[in-house]
Amino acid sequence: MKKILFVCTGNTCRSSMAEGIFNAMASQDEEIRGNFEAASAGVAALEGEPASSGSTRALKELYGIDLSGHRAKNISDAMIKNAYLILTMTASHKEMLLEAFPLSRDRVFTLKEYVLGPESGCSPDISDPYGMPAKVYEQCAAEIREIIGKLVLKLKENRDF
């Protein structure tokens, strides 16, 4: 099974939502199920922290996805080595990873860059909802869900399994 690693800062909002959304979509798609699995990590995570209440609430209310068991993890050499694809939430996360893990250059992209292409003209970043009102978490979750839906289609089109 190929591992897709989503990365943000603290692994309590964006990357945890991306992991939950991807795994939920994958479980419902017979081409992806059993071929891909998502994990997530942070570049500055407090190990063991739960997903933020805003992220947990947004995914549960909007999509029925339960993040209550999520615990934050810091990015590690093993995670990088075992990942088929590493998708960050911002260009700065991507740069941090490329500096720390230069041999992973061909597998590290921002989520938007990988899915939409660098020529899309849109910002490569997904804004951090941390500490913001519930509506901001919901908007972030919806943005991630839309892009992950396109990621699933891209994986299927590329026959990456």
Assess whether pLDDT exceeds 70 at residue 146.
yes
CATH class as words, domain 2-158: alpha beta
Contact 36, 18 (CB under 8 A): no
pLDDT band with cut points at 50, 70 and 90 for residue 160: low
Domain locations along the chain? 2-158
Q: Which active-site residues does the annotation give?
A: 8, 14, 128
What is the reported pTM? 0.96
Give tens-digit pLDDT for 127-139: 999 999 999 999 9
Report which residue type is found at 147: I
CA triplet 117, 123, 125: central angle to 5 degrees? 100
Report which residue type is found at 97: L
